[in-house]
Structure 1
Amino acid sequence: MGFTRGISPPGATQATRLRPSAASGLSPYGSMDTSRHHPTSLTRGVFGQKAEHVDPAQMQLAFDAIVQMLAGTGAQPDAGATSSPDGRDGATPNGSSGGGDKERQAHPHGRQRLPEHLPVERIELLPPEAQDERATALVRIGEEVSETLEWRPASFVRLQIVRPKFAVKGEPEQGITIADVPDSPVPRSLAGPGLLAHVLVSKYADHLPLHRQEKMFERWGLHLSRSTLCGWVESCAGKLAIVVEAMAKDALNAHCIAIDATGVLVQAKDKCRRGHFWVLVADREHVLFRFTPHHNQDGPKEFLRGYKGYVQADASNVYEQLFRTEGVTEVGCWAHCRRKFFEAMNSDRDRATVAIGFIRKLYAIDKATKELPPGRRTEQRRMDAEPVLVAFRAWLETEDLLVLPRSPIAGAIGYALNQWTALTRFLEDGRLRLDNNRSELELRREAVGRKNWLFVGSKDGAEWNATSCRSSPPARCTASSPGPTCATC
């Protein structure tokens, strides 16, 4: 095949092109290939784009090769969807599905209409002629109205709760009657529910650390110390913990749970320690965050204790104990698999492009069956995706014998083969996703916040963070009106 020619060392025979054994050591070509890969990867990580775009011309070559391989298996090359040379086949550059083959929609030009629900303030401007003695000779025949969008700064309100006292006339022994004091989220605190919701939303949804909020409140004419704000956050987190633990219990009944993690620095006396935030996304529309001081196998196993069902995650070894638990079934992530091949583009563009082409084909099939009910979707996936997987597996096994060991492309091929059972699990159930991108997107809330607050002050602070970030979509702090929603929780 044209994609595998010309990549072996000059003068190499078929025997020398086979992968050398571990005892033979790495060839000089393998060392040079790896040494070229690492500087390129580091440079892209610091200065390059994060989007994993592939050259359309390269995808044309991969598309032709995949069509030939699928024809050799007896499968229909265009089963499920039609893949185009430029890669617009339903797979986004990062390996997720959706929106890749949609043409650009025309957006209206000109000034945007302001929402009708906004309150209106009317300012009427009269010409000088209508304000002096000549006004009596003028007749109003119409008006011109123009609109601008204005901002009214937030303001504090002194909310007085008045409880009148009553007594029975002529019967003082009956005592005094008065209404009960309404419950407060923070006992003996001046903060009302709306202010508490504002502090929480600003900190965990808008990623404003408390010291910035302290400065903002001072600009609005009120001094609220950082320690006071911190106490409010602690009290609210304690109240929210009851709700989110009920959510966590309900999430254990989900059909599939996606899990991912990201690191965070925890302040300590000598130096910052490294902890981890975890996100769990259940198909029952629950999004849960957890914190652990260590990145080991105990965390996921404890979070999902008693769970029976599918768990979608990357191939990290921290999930090994979890996947050995009876009743837990591993689901792989094609986005991670694709990323491995994309990272190998600089060292072996031809092979990496073919692999990415196969993965694009799987996403195109998944997109074509997206609107089908789960049962029908399972059948269609098996009909359309299984031949693609058979051809892809055969290609991987063939190329695995030809690539240099310890090279980036060898690592990508090894990842796909080692994770093959988990990666093909989506054929079992139409409700399973091809990738773990949803949990990564949810985890970005912590990653974006980390750029602002840099580290958490203590383990307790990390727990408050995880508790306050957990939410279900109807009450998520990123809703259109988070303040009223959170205040009524």
Structure 2
Amino acid sequence: MTNPELEAKVVALESRLAGASRERDKLSHERDKFRHERDEYRKLYELASMELERFRRHLFGRKAEQVDPAQTQLAFNAVVEALGGLERLSAQSTDAEPPSEQPSGEKLPERKNSRQKERKVTPHGRQPLPEHLPVHEIELLPPEAKGEGAVSLVRIGEEVSETLEWRPAGYVRVRVVRPKFATKGKPEEGVRIEPAPEAPIPRCMAGPGLIAHVLVSKYADSLPLHRQERIYEREGVPLARSTLCNWVGASTGLLRYVVDAMFIDAKKAHCIAMDATGVLVQAKEKCRRGYFWVLVADRDHVLFRFTPRHTQDGPREFLRGYKGYVLADAHNVYELLYRTEDVTEVGCWAHCRRGFFKSLSSDKERALAALGFIGKLYAIDAETKELPPARRTEERRRLATPVLEAFRIWLDVEALVALPKSPIGQAIGYARNQWAPLTRFLDDGRLRLDNNGSELELRRQAVGRKNWLFVGSDEGAEWNTIAVSLIASCQLHGIEPWAYLRDVLILLPDWPRDRVLELSPKYWKQTLEQTDARERLDRSIWSRISSTPPSS
């Protein structure tokens, strides 16, 4: 074969190889494109399945994020066995104590399952009526016991039955009479008259009890002022909505002293849990959106704040100068707080769990396995709940560390195969990215595993929002935060809010401003034991009006 012919064949072969290479690249590109489309469709399918399940639960099922424990246990056991060398975490330990030292790489320590909740015993029969209620006694006599025939009858006993009845709320006109006196024959000594009693709101027609009733009705019972206006009119006491609004603004302006003192005291707390929810603020053209924030400081205070925008400046300003733990979700609104203040971030396992719960409809097996791991952490938390803080820290660390190590291995393995944008992939990514804050509960036994406490407190605003729809202005939102902070803190400390607000409104006008923290719900029971506070309440004419003792 001559050289020209050979060269022609080589050129033809190279051309064919180049064409094959281009075809290969084209097919490879199409394959990647189809793979990407497949993954996108799979992601959309999983998201649609998750939304469908969410709507189905919203319409027909319970909203609580509950899973059948048997299903969770099966999936969890399979994962633990697959890890190799690890014994099931579900195995129960009887009375034997686990070894004090566990060599690395050995089996996970056995522990008892979470204590089963004791079944509540439901009392049978009619519920006894409260003893403090006034009694209206009615005696019914048979016809034979009336008139002349009653002489021949002897009363040998009686049958007594009690019924709970309602009658309209009582209003009273408080007429304060201040007689004037003058010395006979000595007009130069002038007129003697008792000074007018100091009212919480100067020149106001409402007493502290009625003002407290308006505040509790609006902010504890979620009755907007326009509904209260109709109720008062029905009961024969017409009160304009604008009048009620003025009372709310003036009274919360006075109560602000107490809430501000509570806010300063809250910065001494060991841990502050935070959360936020949106609220509509009335505007001329269109309602704009504002935000209510809640801060739960240990078991001391529940405080609410309002900001017109959901920005990082809010949390930083609220906790400026605070040094301690901050329990919150993983929202980026807290990043500036973590960077600029000397606080320690604590993660929320309820938010972590929620992502896996939402993945049940699209990836049930892996979601159940993750829920099993998280369920074990909550079981350990429940078992150690009654221990002193130091002992609880030690036991938490000993029991939860093997579970967390196994969970982390599972997360790292599944992250390699799960689609990043799928529901299960996002849940896995959340857990891995938040791993340090999520495991911070091991450092201190006083730390909670989740932020559910602050979310429950925010339900006050969510329930109220369904009734009053929006706040009239930023100033109205501030009134809301003051009243709700005191009412929520009252519930935290087991105090009846109407009696508390009534007595605080009596005391506040002449109470020393440097002692205003004593009037907060945290210290209220101690304050009532002081002679000074009790004497001030007894001297007030407003304390004589109620049929119940002050702050009962």
Q: Please report the TM-score for the alignment, with normalisation by the length of structure 2.
A: 0.78
Q: 1:118 and 1:75 mapped to 2: Cα distance?
A: 62
What is residue 393 of structure 1 aligned with on the other side? 408
Check the 8 A contact 1:286/1:472 in 2, yes or no: no
Q: Pick 1 or 2: higher relative contact order, CA cutoff 8 A, min separation 6.
A: 1
Check the 8 A contact 1:26/1:405 in 2, yes or no: no
Q: Among 290, 304, 315, which residue is 1:300 paired with?
A: 315
Q: 1:481 and 1:134 mapped to 2: Cα distance?
A: 52
| 2:228 paired with 1:210 | no
| 2:46 paired with 1:33 | yes
Q: 1:413 and 1:57 mapped to 2: Cα distance?
A: 22
Give a deviation string over 1:113-136, Cα, whole Å, max 9, x none: 112222222110000111132111
Q: Among 23, 42, 62, which residue is 1:49 paired with?
A: 62
Specify the SS of the correspondent of 2:305: strand
Check the 8 A contact 2:262/2:301 in 1, yes or no: yes
| 2:458 paired with 1:455 | no
- Within a 5 Å distance, the mapping from 1:348-427 to structure 2 comes to 348-427=363-442
What is residue 78 of structure 1 aligned with on the other side? 110
Greater percentage in helix? 2
What is residue 253 of structure 1 aligned with on the other side? 268
C-alpha displacement of 1:163: 1.8
Q: 1:199 and 1:481 mapped to 2: Cα distance?
A: 15
What is residue 336 of structure 2 aligned with on the other side? 321
Check the 8 A contact 1:340/1:411 in 2, yes or no: yes
Specify the SS of the correspondent of 2:304: strand
Q: Aligned AA for 1:38? A: E
Give a deviation string over 1:409-451, Cα, whole Å, max 9, x none: 0000000000000000101111110000000011100000001
C-alpha displacement of 1:403: 1.2
Q: Among 452, 470, 475, which residue is 2:485 paired with?
A: 470
Q: 2:266 and 2:118 mapped to 1: Cα distance?
A: 37
Check the 8 A contact 1:277/1:290 in 2, yes or no: yes
Farther-moved stretch of structure 1 (387-396 vs 62-71) = 62-71
Check the 8 A contact 1:205/1:477 in 2, yes or no: no
Check the 8 A contact 2:328/2:348 in 1, yes or no: yes
Specify the SS of the correspondent of 2:424: helix
RMSD across aligned C-alpha pairs, in angstroms?
A: 2.2
Percentage of pairs with the same residue: 63
Q: 1:261 and 1:406 mapped to 2: Cα distance?
A: 26
C-alpha displacement of 1:78: 3.5
Q: 2:168 and 2:355 mapped to 1: Cα distance?
A: 49
| 2:80 paired with 1:64 | no
Q: Aligned AA for 1:134? A: G
Check the 8 A contact 1:205/1:478 in 2, yes or no: no
Specify the SS of the correspondent of 1:344: helix
Residues 1:334 and 1:432: Cα distance change in structure 2 (over 3 Å) = same
Q: Among 340, 351, 374, which residue is 1:336 paired with?
A: 351
What is residue 105 of structure 1 aligned with on the other side? 120
Specify the SS of the correspondent of 2:276: strand
Specify the SS of the correspondent of 1:200: helix
What is residue 430 of structure 1 aligned with on the other side? 445
Specify the SS of the correspondent of 1:152: coil
C-alpha displacement of 1:76: 4.0
Q: 2:492 and 2:252 mapped to 1: Cα distance?
A: 14
Farther-moved stretch of structure 1 (151-160 vs 199-208) = 151-160
Farther-moved stretch of structure 1 (62-71 vs 443-452) = 62-71
- Within a 5 Å distance, the mapping from 1:121-200 to structure 2 comes to 121-200=136-215
Check the 8 A contact 1:265/1:273 in 2, yes or no: yes
C-alpha displacement of 1:479: 5.7
C-alpha displacement of 1:110: 1.5
- Within a 5 Å distance, the mapping from 1:9-28 to structure 2 comes to 27=39, 28=41
What is residue 244 of structure 1 aligned with on the other side? 259
Q: 1:60 and 1:255 mapped to 2: Cα distance?
A: 35
C-alpha displacement of 1:366: 0.7
Give a deviation string over 1:20-61, Cα, whole Å, max 9, x none: 99x967624344333433333344345542111112331230
Farther-moved stretch of structure 1 (345-354 vs 479-488) = 479-488
Give a deviation string over 1:160-218, Cα, whole Å, max 9, x none: 11222233343322222222212111110110000000000000000000011001101
Specify the SS of the correspondent of 1:202: helix
Farther-moved stretch of structure 1 (32-41 vs 435-444) = 32-41
Check the 8 A contact 2:294/2:457 in 1, yes or no: yes
Structure with larger Rg = 2
Specify the SS of the correspondent of 1:324: helix
Q: Aligned AA for 1:71? A: E
Q: Among 290, 303, 306, which residue is 1:288 paired with?
A: 303
Q: 1:66 and 1:110 mapped to 2: Cα distance?
A: 50
C-alpha displacement of 1:158: 0.5
Q: 2:321 and 2:58 mapped to 1: Cα distance?
A: 39
Q: Aligned AA for 2:71? A: Q
Specify the SS of the correspondent of 2:284: coil
Structure 2: gaps spanning 5 or more residues: 1-31, 89-104, 505-552
Residues 1:443 and 1:320: Cα distance change in structure 2 (over 3 Å) = same
Residues 1:30 and 1:207: Cα distance change in structure 2 (over 3 Å) = closer
What is residue 8 of structure 1 aligned with on the other side? none
Specify the SS of the correspondent of 2:400: helix
Specify the SS of the correspondent of 2:360: coil
Specify the SS of the correspondent of 1:310: strand
Specify the SS of the correspondent of 1:288: strand
Q: 2:289 and 2:59 mapped to 1: Cα distance?
A: 22
Specify the SS of the correspondent of 2:293: strand
Check the 8 A contact 2:299/2:492 in 1, yes or no: no
Check the 8 A contact 2:229/2:241 in 1, yes or no: yes
Check the 8 A contact 1:290/1:463 in 2, yes or no: yes
Q: 2:412 and 2:492 mapped to 1: Cα distance?
A: 47
Q: How many residues are matched?
A: 452
Residues 1:75 and 1:241: Cα distance change in structure 2 (over 3 Å) = farther
Farther-moved stretch of structure 1 (45-54 vs 222-231) = 45-54
Q: Aligned AA for 2:106? A: G
Farther-moved stretch of structure 1 (231-240 vs 56-65) = 56-65
C-alpha displacement of 1:298: 1.1
Residues 1:130 and 1:244: Cα distance change in structure 2 (over 3 Å) = same
Q: 2:199 and 2:492 mapped to 1: Cα distance?
A: 21
Check the 8 A contact 1:163/1:178 in 2, yes or no: yes
What is residue 249 of structure 2 aligned with on the other side? 234
Q: 1:106 and 1:475 mapped to 2: Cα distance?
A: 28
Q: 2:36 and 2:79 mapped to 1: Cα distance?
A: 34
C-alpha displacement of 1:155: 1.7
Q: Among 99, 110, 133, which residue is 1:118 paired with?
A: 133
